[in-house]
Structure 1
Amino acid sequence: MTFSPRKLYFLLRTCYALQSPNYLSSLRFPTPVFFSCSSSAADNASLQGPFIVDNLINSVGISPERAIKASGSLFYLQSPSKPDAVRQFFMDSGFSDIQIKNIISKSSRVLLADVDTILKPRMEALKEFDFSESDVIRLVSRKPTFLFCSDAQLKRINFWREILQSKDIVLNALLRGNRIIFTVPERNIMPKIQFLRSYGISQDQIAYMFRINPTFVTRKLDTIRRLVKRVEELRFLCGSRAFCVALISISQMSRATMDSKLTVFRTMGCSEADISLAILKCPQLLMRSAKNLKNTMDFLVKNAGFETSYVMERPLFLTCSLENRLIPRYHLLQFLKSKDLLKNGLSLFTITLFSEKKLMEKLIVPYQEEMPELRQIYASAFAGKFAM
């Protein structure tokens, strides 16, 4: 890591303050080092620089490297009074020490902001969108840039509330990225929403897709057109929920990635018709990785002994976790069969879809008297220990 003369000065001063000269051994310095600043500028730096780095390290808890990096944008601070006022404001507003540290680490310029004219009004403005105090704290902690948005940008939150019809969906989107309020809705968003509606996709379905992938409608219209075309090729009914699931799934992968998933089924002897039908029944298949699909198919066919056609007729099988659901429930079922305890003819597919609560009610509790250790046996299977 190479530092400019000014950053080098901060580094040397920081190491002195921390009494950690050995910290220098991991860093590379320009050779030779020339300080080209004037003596008055150097005097100014000696008055201003050290307290900034020390303040960030000792008061905020930022690492020396981050403190040195952040100090560049805080060079003109005259005293610690403004940073202290900012930190105090966040503490009074309910932010934890860790949240304050995260905010300053992500956006050190917040320490230059005036509490009364910038921070406090922005915090209040965010609450006006029906966000609770805890919502605002989460939002600012994750994305401090919201403290510096213009009024016009913040008002775009109202547009998304109207489109998505849910404060929670909008909040989740904002937490995952601030891109949606930096996009002009009338010019960049509405044409895409109108295009999706032309395919019979309802407002609720658009909200659903947005919840899964908030950046979907921020893509170029031509890109969305191509994605819709790919979903049509899979013969999904336009406007159906399955169409929306497939559209979001395909939007997150390249055509090559999708082909690799389909190849898993082809190598297992599945016909194109079988593959299409399975995806139409369960578009969530497209969200699974090729490796995951292969491992699950291998287990169900080679270990559990099912025919490939049986699995493809029940594609939900392939959406279940192999380690946390399929394998432990398969071993539990095999154990019950070996002890002739299973009287109701339940199949692996049926019990795979059970919740944990229902599994206990159907397969553990009824046999508790005959096999009191059954609960522990299932726990062992869940932990990957199959010695039954």
Structure 2
Amino acid sequence: MLRFRSCILLTRLLSSPTASPSQGSSLRRLLAAAAAPRISPNPRFAVEDYLVSTCCLSRAQALKAYAKLSHLKSPAKPDAVLAFLAGLGLSAADVAALVARDPQFLCAKVETTLSPNVAGLTSIGLSNAEIARLVSLAPGYFRNRSVVSKLEYYLPLFGSTGDLFRALKYAYSLLGSDLERVVKPNVNLLAECGLGACDIAKLIIGAPRMFSAKPGRVLAMVACAEGIGVPHGSGMFRQALHAVSYLSEDKLAAKVDYLKKTFRWSDTEVRIAVFKRPVVLRRSKDTLQRMSEFLISEVGLEPARIAHLPVMLGLSLEGRLRPRYYVMRFLRENGLLKRNQSYYTIVKWTEKEFLDKFICPHKDAAPYLAEDYASACRGEVPARFIFA
């Protein structure tokens, strides 16, 4: 019965519009093998050749995969797995990518693991296409029966399969974390700190390591966030947790000291900046140094002003801060800036708003301004933006 089902599913895979002629030929050989009666395993079964001719791997990929499949003595189990994948709708190219990434998937048990997982995921609302995507994203975890209970927990947390799969794209290791001893306690702890499901879901995407860490480690992160002046319950608490999740206590203290020295901030000013924009803790020292030199020495902003408007430190120096400063100065020196606009006012606008307010109105008086601004955004300094 299994072999009959395999033949049907392989036929579907053969008819996939994405299958190349060479892939189709390989799969036809697999179909013929699946249809033929099998008396006994072939003692000369060549795994590497099977991976190339049937799974469409390159010879180099097959050689690498062979180390994990050298124990195979027969194509029976891989044939069944390929038929299963065909039934999910994976193309020949998808199958090749999956096998290259996780060769041991060919050894999974279809009847006792893969098919029950499909049934379980279908019961919680996933479509065949979504299940196929999950297999491609995390084949190793799909070989474990716990994948159903984990998705059943994560789905309401993220609110939709779309948001869940976007998270798994960057943090598929969540499927390997222990739900009862690690994930749930961490989620409950963050909920007690005032984070809602939406914030927790965003934190999972931005800092997935938090949800595979022991609860004691997450509690320490909460303490660090509060220690830098961002109490739980504040609007910036999630961002503060995201920032400190990548830093040890020593590195965090060193980064705070570096901010004070580089921007000439007092203890109070650095706490204000971090409270308003925790992401500054994740900026590299080189970036912070260049921003300090530009904002203080070239633009002429006071350190205290920067501390109260730290959103600027989250913007691109080369792609936004510097080019807009050039435009502002050009307009001012040519008498085209009607009001005394502050530098922060100019950099805070979206790109479309900036063009509408500061570039387009001057196309007659300064016909090259748009071109010069575009050049500045690419890192060039047009002659008209060189000021005496």
Pairwise same-fold verdict (TM > 0.5): yes
Question: 1:281 matched to which residue of 2?
Answer: 276
**How far apart, in 2, do the equivalents of 1:139 and 1:103 lie?**
11
Question: 2:310 matched to which residue of 1?
Answer: 315
What do residues 53-92 of structure 1 show as CA deviations (whole Å, max 9, x unaligned)? 2332355453434312322443455566765665565466
Question: 1:345 matched to which residue of 2?
Answer: 340
**How far apart, in 2, do the equivalents of 1:328 and 1:129 lie?**
51
What do residues 231-285 of structure 1 show as CA deviations (whole Å, max 9, x unaligned)? 2222323222212221221011122332332233222321111100111122222
Q: Secondary structure at the match of 1:175?
A: helix
Q: Is the 8 A contact 2:137 2:168 kept in 1?
A: no
Q: Secondary structure at the match of 1:241?
A: coil
CA change 1:113–1:266 in 2 (3 A) is: closer
**Match of residue 263, structure 1, among 230, 251, 257:** 257
Question: 1:11 matched to which residue of 2?
Answer: none
CA change 1:241–1:132 in 2 (3 A) is: farther
**How far apart, in 1, do the equivalents of 2:215 and 2:64 lie?**
39
Amino acid at match of 2:256: L
Amino acid at match of 2:273: A
**How far apart, in 2, do the equivalents of 1:135 and 1:338 lie?**
58
Question: 2:15 matched to which residue of 1?
Answer: none
**Match of residue 105, structure 2, among 91, 110, 115:** 110
Question: 2:205 matched to which residue of 1?
Answer: 211
Question: 1:99 matched to which residue of 2?
Answer: 94
Question: 1:382 matched to which residue of 2?
Answer: 377
Amino acid at match of 1:239: G
Amino acid at match of 2:354: L
More moved, 344-353 vs 170-179: 170-179
**Match of residue 45, structure 2, among 45, 48, 71:** 48
**Match of residue 229, structure 2, among 217, 231, 235:** 235
Within a 5 Å distance, the mapping from 1:1-388 to structure 2 comes to 47-49=44-46, 52-75=47-70, 77=72, 83=78, 86-87=81-82, 90=85, 93-113=88-108, 119=114, 122-123=117-118, 125-150=120-145, 152-268=146-262, 269-387=264-382, 388=384
Structure 2: tracts of 5 or more residues without a match: 1-41
Shift of 1:318: 0.6
Question: 2:7 matched to which residue of 1?
Answer: none
More moved, 100-109 vs 199-208: 199-208
Structure 1: tracts of 5 or more residues without a match: 1-43
Q: Which has the higher contact order (CA 8 A, sep 6+)?
A: 2
Q: Is the 8 A contact 1:205 1:241 kept in 2?
A: no
What do residues 70-129 of structure 1 show as CA deviations (whole Å, max 9, x unaligned)? 224434555667656655654664435543222111211233446676555544544444
Q: Is the 8 A contact 1:169 1:211 kept in 2?
A: no
State the identity as a percent: 28
Q: Is the 8 A contact 1:278 1:314 kept in 2?
A: yes
Shift of 1:340: 2.0
Amino acid at match of 1:210: I
What do residues 121-143 of structure 1 show as CA deviations (whole Å, max 9, x unaligned)? 54454444434555434332221
Q: Is the 8 A contact 2:170 2:205 kept in 1?
A: no
CA change 1:185–1:381 in 2 (3 A) is: same
**How far apart, in 1, do the equivalents of 2:230 and 2:252 lie?**
16
CA change 1:190–1:318 in 2 (3 A) is: same
CA change 1:265–1:153 in 2 (3 A) is: closer
More moved, 81-90 vs 303-312: 81-90
TM-score normalized with structure 1 length: 0.77
**How far apart, in 2, do the equivalents of 1:153 and 1:59 lie?**
28
Question: 2:32 matched to which residue of 1?
Answer: none
More moved, 59-68 vs 326-335: 59-68
**How far apart, in 1, do the equivalents of 2:75 and 2:105 lie?**
13
User: CA RMSD for the aligned pairs?
Assistant: 2.9
What do residues 273-308 of structure 1 show as CA deviations (whole Å, max 9, x unaligned)? 110011112222223222222221121112222222
**How far apart, in 2, do the equivalents of 1:217 and 1:114 lie?**
29
Shift of 1:363: 1.3
**How far apart, in 1, do the equivalents of 2:214 and 2:150 lie?**
19
Amino acid at match of 1:48: F
Amino acid at match of 2:285: A
